């Protein structure tokens, strides 16, 4: 059941990204280029997504547990710490450089594999290096990972 | 003009329904960073791998059945730039524990201040990066 829900939500999420134009580096960089020929249309992606998801998350807050699960993942960290700041700034530089963020990268992998692999392989390497570094820096084997 | 804004809005609504739906159904956050990390490193791998298979399938279906240039611009990016960008995205999203989906869609929908800070920071650094590349004489 969880596998089926995972697959279907991934598929729909991908179609959403495709319909929204998020898989086009040209479109993303035009959105980020406020000083140039700014294309504000991608603001409607975040607007539409948050507008739709917010009532669903509010609904979830009133439930004891999910429909097909044991508990809600309720990120408890509220700290705006150095890791969040450096990580988010670093992600933004990469996103601005190529106009590709993680979701669209995985969707594009099936459309233009050779070109996209040049992005995805280093992305996975970066993720693994950072995760290993965090593990060793935290001393213990596990670290609470929360949004 | 209409489709310029309607398609992104509809795409956003689909993304929002999916993210909210995944949370209501399974209690899981639809953050691609966290999902990819779980699928690759663990500890829990099952539905995360299925979600990634779904993402890949959406691209495959688009490439095989739907017309249109969904990845406009990617061919023009030099491979070293793609590689550097990918590395920074991987490092940054892991360290910051989220990207456009986890902090953006889910975090903002949950009214998380921490996510709002993350979104503000990556929007500013992404905007500055594009500004320097296009208007900074690089």
Residue A96 lies in a domain: yes
> What pLDDT shows up at residue B44?
79
Q: Is B116 exposed, middle or buried (0-12, 13-18, 19+ CB in 10 A)?
A: middle
Q: Is A3 helix (H, G, I), strand (E, B) or coil?
A: helix
The ipTM is: 0.95
Q: Assign residue A139 a region (left: φ > 0; alpha: ψ between -120 and 50; beta: otherwise).
A: left
Q: Which residue of B has its CA nearest to A94?
A: B85
* Residue A144 belongs to some domain of the structure: no
- Please give the structure tokens belonging to residue B22: 């995944």
CB A69 within 8 A of CB B28: yes
Structural domain count, chain A: 1
Burial degree of B43 (CB within 10 A; 0-12, 13-18, 19+): exposed
A143 within some domain: no
In chain A, DSSP assigns E strands to: none
- Domain span at A109: 2-138
What CA–CA distance (Å, rounded) separates A87 from A127? 11
- CA–CA min distance A133, chain B (Å): 9
A53 within some domain: yes
- In the A/B pair of chains, how many CB contacts fall below 8 A? 499
A41, A129, A147 member nearest B97 (Cβ): A147
Task: Note the pTM of the prediction, 2 decimals.
Answer: 0.94
Chain A positions touching B52 (Cβ under 8 A) are 10, 106
Is residue A146 assigned to a domain?
A: no
List all residues 6 or more positions away from A9 whose beta carbon is below 8 Å from its beta carbon. B18, B21, B22, B30, B51, B54
In a domain, A77, yes or no: yes
User: pLDDT per residue over B41-57, tens digit each?
Assistant: 988 789 999 999 999 99
Is the CB of B136 inside 8 Å of chain A's CB atoms? no
Quick check: is A147 in a domain?
A: no
Task: Tell me the per-residue pLDDT of B86-136, one tens digit each, with 9 for 90 and over.
Answer: 999 999 999 999 999 999 999 999 999 999 999 999 999 999 999 999 998
A57 with B126: Cβ contact below 8 A: no
**Residue A145 maps to a domain:** no
What pLDDT was estimated at residue A39?
Answer: 94
Mean of the pLDDT values across residues A112-127? Answer: 97
In the predicted model, what is the mean pLDDT of residues A46-60? 97
Residue A88 CB neighbour total at 10 angstroms: 29
Q: How far apart are CA A88 and CA B107, in angstroms?
A: 14
Tell me the pLDDT tens digit for each residue of B29-42: 999 999 999 999 98
The domain locations on chain B are 77-138
B105 touches chain A (CB under 8 A): yes
Interface of B with A in 6-65 (CB under 8 A): 7-34, 36-37, 40-41, 46-60, 62-63
């Amino acid at each position: 059941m969880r596998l089926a829900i995972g697959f279907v939500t991934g598929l729909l999420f991908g179609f959403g990204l495709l319909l929204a134009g998020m898989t086009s580096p040209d479109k993303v960089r035009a959105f980020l280029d406020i000083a140039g020929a700014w294309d504000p249309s991608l603001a409607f992606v975040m607007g539409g997504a948050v507008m739709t998801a917010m009532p669903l998350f509010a609904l979830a807050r009133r439930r004891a547990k999910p429909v097909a699960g044991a508990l809600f993942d309720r990120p408890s960290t509220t700290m705006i710490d150095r890791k969040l700041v450096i990580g988010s700034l670093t992600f933004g530089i990469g996103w601005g450089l190529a106009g590709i963020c993680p979701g669209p990268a995985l969707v594009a992998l099936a459309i233009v594999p050779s070109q996209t692999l040049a992005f995805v392989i280093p992305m996975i390497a970066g993720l693994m290096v950072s995760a290993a570094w965090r593990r060793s820096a935290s001393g213990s084997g596990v670290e609470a990972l929360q949004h | 003009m209409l489709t310029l804004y309607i398609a992104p809005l509809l795409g956003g609504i689909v993304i929002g329904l999916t993210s909210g739906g995944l949370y209501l159904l399974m209690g899981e956050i639809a953050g691609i960073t966290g999902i990819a990390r779980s699928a690759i490193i663990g500890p829990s791998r099952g539905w995360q791998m299925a979600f990634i298979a779904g993402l890949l399938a959406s691209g495959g279906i688009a490439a095989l059945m739907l017309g249109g240039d969904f990845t406009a611009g990617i061919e023009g990016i030099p491979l070293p730039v793609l590689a550097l960008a990918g590395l920074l995205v991987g490092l940054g999203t892991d360290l910051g524990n989220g990207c456009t989906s986890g902090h953006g869609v889910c975090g903002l929908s949950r009214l998380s201040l921490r996510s709002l800070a993350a979104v503000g920071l990556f929007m500013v650094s992404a905007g500055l990066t594009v500004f320097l590349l296009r208007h900074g004489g690089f």
